Amino acid sequence: MHHVPLDESSAPPRRRDRDNIRDLLLEAAIAEFAQRGFDGASTTSIAKRADAHQPQINYHFSNKSELWQAAVDQVFSELDEVVATTDFVEDPEAGFAALIRGLVEFAAARPELHQIMVQEATAASDRLEWITDTHIRSRYEQLSTLWAALQQRGVAAPIDSKLIYYVVIGTTSLMYINRAEARMLLGENPANEAIIDEHVAGIVAMLLPHYKPATRP
């Protein structure tokens, strides 16, 4: 009996491994929670977006709340990867300017984080309490402390350190949260590199009016 060689192109696709399925579910959940909020998103729509099945969600996450927390943890961990490379010790002003660039670039590439926060931060809830205690409060305190140090050096704008978190988050993210509106008004994609460069320069000039970036030799 002769065996016909199997054409690899006609072979059934390999089953996606469980870790990959979890990643796909998380990415789908991030998109759904950003667009629809916790109440508007459903595990059915998340599974459909991930090209997965409801039992696969049940396998990886015990309920919708656990999936939401995992999605939030994921986007904040991505933000941490950006901020972790910022050095505030060697040159605090340059470090702050680098932080602004990192936040703007992250918001342009990953607006879902701020879209989720807009969904959650407008009304008190157990979810808002969790996200504040888990992710927001420490960032708020770190940025307030950094800003107070910059003010002591006489290089920062006269903005209360209690408010600087919202000034920074608002100025770095709003244009990308409202991307459709920004595209209409600007006549181009707000995530274009040239727009991002101007955006960063404008925020830094506003917040650190005396800062002069080092020129490359």
What pLDDT, in 10s, does the model give residues 115-165?
999 999 999 999 999 999 999 999 999 999 999 999 999 999 999 999 999
State whether 61 and 97 are in the same domain. no
> Please, what's the b/e burial string for 186-200 (b: 16 or more CB within 10 A of its CB; e: otherwise)?
eeeebbeeebbeebb
pLDDT at 84: 78
Phi-psi region of 213 (alpha: psi -120 to 50; beta: other; left: phi over 0): beta
Who has greater pLDDT, 35 or 83?
Answer: 35
Secondary structure (3-state) at 3: coil
State whether 130 and 188 are in the same domain. yes
Domain C-terminal end among 36, 70, 104: 70
What CATH number is associated with residue 60? 1.10.10.60
Q: What are phi and psi of 28, to 5 degrees?
A: -65, -40
